[in-house]
A and B are shown apart, each in its own frame.
Chain A
Amino acid sequence: MGENESFLKFLFDAIFVAFSGGRRYKAWLTALLIIIIFGLISYSYQFREGLIITGMRDQVSWGLYISNFTFFVGVAASAVMIVIPLYIYNFKLFKPIITFGEYLAVGALLIVIANVLADIGRVDRLHHMLPILGTPNFPQSLLMWDMVVLTGYLLLNLLIPSYSLFKTYHNTKPKRWIKAFIYLSIPWAISIHTVTAFIYGGLVARPFWNTALMAPRFLSSAFASGPAFLIIALLIIRKNNEILREEISDRAINILAQIVAIGGVVSLFFLGTEVYTIGYSQSAHWINLKYLMFGLEHNGVYYGRLVPFFWASFILTLVATILLINPGTRKNYRILPVACFLIFTGLWIEKGLGLVIPGFIPSPVGEIHEYMPTLMEVMISAAGWAFGFFVYTLLVRVSIAIETGEIGSYGGMSRLDYLRSLKERRSSE
């Protein structure tokens, strides 16, 4: 068995198939590539001139980059919502979608990394964070923790699905040791979003973030946004692939949609408790939230750039949650992707701009300075998105090709037998 499993052949086949596809597939990749290129051009200006080309300043010292970073950590973490039902509760219907979920974590983490890199003032000194080469402030600094857990999670989510595909490709059984990594990935997923929440939650300087509810809120919204994205991806995959149309069952999608709905409900509930606790007591935390929800007035000037975003986010999340709770709309495949898109957008605002920016306004010494990202900043951040989407697309393409027998070493079988065995593989453990 083992001796014939060539890794190189697997890799070459995978790379080859990743870049082959229909016209629309190639157009999609090209579009992403163009976005990436424009982002890189913009970044070269940022690299030369400094972060001055962004809308950030001392008053609002983190902006769009860190917003996207925060949100996509959540999307990455949510892969666990497929892993838990499948591996803990043995919910077999998730078997055909597991690789798409795990690779989603990879794509999301690439967006995370791209946006963090874009935000760093001195990328030439990143090695200062590493042991031996640098002086990592571990365990004191939460950024160090985040780097450790994010790197680990990226490796886990590259390894687990790739290993599974590798075995499928050679039509051999996965070894038992991979289970250890799969189980490890569950607490690890929770940890990445918890640590990311702690980056904010541990800052006494920023009352808006300094709340114990930060990590629970992060997790609840993540468990809605990630699966919402995955549903859209699965619907697209189903539409374009005959074999997977049967495999990715309505029931699996329905369960995912219910997970999104629950995530939405819990998120809204947490938002409500936060608004009540802070708003009713009118404590020091209130001023930032007030800025976010209603805007502030000072010396006759109104500052409320985030207000429409907050309410849009709230309404989008609320409407989507209702659509997803109601079985009639949830099971309607025309409405479902729309609802998923709405909640994804709503939570992107909430966990991105709506979380990061109001923490800075007003500043700790009482200055109200509003933030607006520049076009170049948007393009750099978008390139990060495009990069993640690009890689995710390729990974999904390879997974489909292997799962459906488009490529594979067939383990010495005829194609027909092989396809049959693939099918059995998916329905058994």
Chain B
Amino acid sequence: MKETRRDLIKKAAGAVGMASVIPVSKPVISLTLEEFLQKHFKEMTEEDKREVIERLEREYKEKYGIDANIKTTPPIKGVVWGYALNIQKCIGCRRCVYACVRENNQSRGSPDDPSIPAIQWIRVVRVEKEKIHPESETGRDFRTKFGEVHAGVNIEITDSYYDPDKVPEKDYYYIPIQCQQCERPPCVKACPTKATWKEPDGIIVVDYNWCIGCRFCMAACPYWARHFNWAEPYIPKEEINTNMHYLGNRLRMKGVVEKCTFCIQRTREGKYPACVEICPVGARKFGNLLDPESEIRKILEEKRVFRLKEEAGTNPKFFYFMD
């Protein structure tokens, strides 16, 4: 008995010692009454929204010294956004990832603690083109007689940490994956507080001030599109994008979930998402699914299109295609 207790104390002391390495300069609690009483975004009146935005802008000013402009631009009528990505063209350079991080104010991790990961809404995975080898053995006695034929891809196990300087590599596909803006989003169903929902233009958004951080939505998302602020996010002040949307790229806090919103702050004002603009090979296409003349509709009609994990029944509005 005595021994185990002493052991325990030793261990505990170790942990406390470990913890004291972490800088403790931050205030223990920075919760204001207004923040505590804030309503769900969809239940706010225009007046409420104005107040909340003023408060947030003030907070951002105090914390980062920036003049943010937080908008609540509503969806455009008659528009449902869709995305298409040409995986034959994608070279896996990950420029979209970094453009997205900058545009959407994602946490860069931490300058003094490497264990705190950066957040990236787009993940480009590398997969080997599945081949039918002449010598491949499937089962006991079946030998195929084909040559080197590429036979699809399988994302069961992928590489997320390939070297972007070496791309493109023969025999590999690169598949950028971000929120697929599911028409039947399992994440929305899972959320106990309705903190995440589908907007009329088809974008799944999160009210960062309503999310309780239970991470059920993360477990429910088949595309690993949702990311959690495990620590207080860190962005160098000069890199903050001050053109913000309440449901999009405004600054987040620790303990909440975030995800791609098709750059809601841009697309609702007629601009392309940042990832579409940056892509050096033009692999990314974006547009209004309801407009029969749009580029995206042309792609859906004319190209070989597929969606990831169709069997999941999520109906993504993010399509992959080949010429």
Contacts and interface: CB of A to CB of B under 8 A. Distances in A.
A34 B7 CA distance: 12
A121 B29 CA distance: 13
A137 B14 contact: no
Interface residues of A, number: 65
A205 B219 contact: yes
A111 to B, nearest CB: 18
Nearest to A286: B156
A27 B197 CA distance: 52
A56 B116 CA distance: 11
A57 B216 contact: no
B219 A296 contact: no
Contacts of A44: 28
A298 B157 contact: yes
Interface in B190-245: 190-195, 210-216, 218-224, 227-232
Interface stretch (B18-26, B96-104, B294-302): B18-26
Pick from B1, B157, B159, B191 the residue with the most CB of A within 10 Å.
B157
A204 B190 contact: no
Contact of B232 (A50, A53, A204, A368): A50
B186 A296 contact: no
Interface in A370-388: 375-376, 379
Nearest to B5: A31
B219 A62 contact: yes
A367 B192 contact: no
A287 B158 CA distance: 13
A134 interface: yes
B50 interface: no
Contacts of B254: 50, 52, 121
B171 interface: no
Contact of B215 (A41, A121, A205): A121
A268 interface: no
A102 to B, nearest CB: 28
A363 B192 contact: no
A51 B230 contact: yes
Interface stretch (A140-148, A244-252, A408-416): A140-148
B155 A203 contact: no
Interface residues of B, number: 70
A362 B156 contact: yes
A347 B229 CA distance: 32
B11 A375 contact: yes
Contacts of B228: 51, 58, 61, 121
Given A61-B228, A296-B157, A365-B125, A120 B216 contact: no
B194 A48 contact: no
Contacts of A142: 190, 216
Contacts of A58: 117, 119, 218, 224, 227-228, 230
Nearest to A299: B159
Contact of A366 (B8, B11, B127): B127
B50 to A, nearest CB: 21
A44 B19 CA distance: 10
B22 A49 contact: yes
Given A47-B28, A135-B43, A143-B214, A128 B193 contact: yes
B151 interface: no
A376 B15 CA distance: 6
B231 A52 contact: yes
Choose among B5, B19, B229 the residue with the greatest number of A CB atoms under 10 Å from its CB: B19
Contacts of A31: 1, 5
Given A41-B16, A375-B18, A204 B214 contact: no
A49 B228 CA distance: 14
B219 A206 contact: yes
A419 interface: no
B212 A120 contact: yes
A47 B119 CA distance: 20
B256 interface: yes
Interface string A103-144: 000000000000000011111111011000011110011111
Given A38-B12, A50-B229, A134-B193, 4 more contacts: A51-B230, A121-B228, A144-B192, A284-B156
19 contacts: A34-B8, A51-B213, A61-B219, A120-B214, A121-B254, A122-B213, A122-B255, A125-B210, A129-B212, A135-B43, A141-B189, A141-B216, A143-B214, A203-B186, A203-B190, A205-B223, A296-B157, A365-B155, A367-B125
Q: Which 5 A-B pairs have the closest CB atoms?
A: A121-B213, A121-B255, A366-B158, A205-B222, A52-B231
